[in-house]
Amino acid sequence: MTERVHVETSGHVATVTLTHPPLNAFDTEMRRALAETAARLADSADVHAVVLYGGPRCFAAGADIKQLAGFGFEEVANWNRALQQTFTRFAELPMPVVAAITGYALGGGMELALTADHRIAAPDAVLGQPEVLLGIIPGSGGTQRMARLIGPSRTKELLMTGRRVPADEALTLGLVDRLADDPYAAALEYARDLAAGPRFALQAVKEAVDHGIDAPIAAGLALERSLIAGLFATADRAEGMASFLRDGPGRARFGRPA
């Protein structure tokens, strides 16, 4: 099998790079490689943050349309379920995930970027969900994660027109969090900062926000109480509070050298 995904780890940060030129199209091999990668990352105690990257020219321009065009109902239902589950594995990783977006992030590429906790795009990047122009809709989280990110009205406009969104507008809409001339370098720097923080507290923040946002507030508050109580059993909590009392705020290194 030709390598579709390359993983490189530096310190506690893993960079997951899509390697299916020219546009990193999602075919079955890519989906399987991503699923295997997400499973390994979820089980890793050494990876504290992840960067998703498509290379310097293109993040990912969506599904392999040649493959999709030959599918019938049963084939596409099974294929799409597997791709949706794969993307969900990235969304549910216990560590922060940062997407570095260059070139195009369209269709499935946009949906993969939406699984990240933070998105940094190049000023000339182009984002969007053009599936409606093929007579279909996004099927790997686009209708759900985008609506939760930028609201239902803006999401419907983008999905119903299928238009491409330039990076500056994507920033205004909230599809990306910031722009950088070198989004990979910026994403790596941010991921390293996060990886140096308290691992289990960061995981708890992600769980509280992701699982509480659609729950009744009473359920969200109960989740929050449970998570903060559990953090009092961690070494990072003990170190962070001891450091605060000894040196003042912002000094704890959480077991990592200065």
- Selected catalytic residue, list 131, 157, 189, 224: 131
- Token digits for 254? 């959480």
Q: What is the C-alpha to C-alpha distance for residues 105 and 52, in angstroms, rounded to an integer?
A: 12
224 tagged catalytic: no
Alpha-carbon gap, residue 45 to 13, rounded angstroms: 11
Taking Cα atoms as reference points, which of 196, 175, 79, 83 lies closest to residue 127?
Answer: 175
Of 111, 157, 189, 224, catalytic:
111
| Backbone dihedral angles phi then psi of residue 4, each to the nearest 5 degrees | -105, -25
The closest alpha carbon to 122, from 25, 53, 50, 49, belongs to 53
> Beta-strand (E) ranges in 84-218?
97-101, 104-106, 118-121, 126-128, 165-166, 178-179
Reference 113, options 124, 125, 123; nearest CA is 125
Identify whether 75 is a catalytic site residue: no
- Round to whole Å and give the CA distance between 100 and 51: 7
Encoded tokens for 123: 């000023």
- What's the CA dihedral at 74, 75, 76, 82 to 10 degrees? 110
Q: Which of 84, 78, 149 is nearest to 116 (CA)?
A: 149
Q: Which residues are catalytic?
A: 111, 131
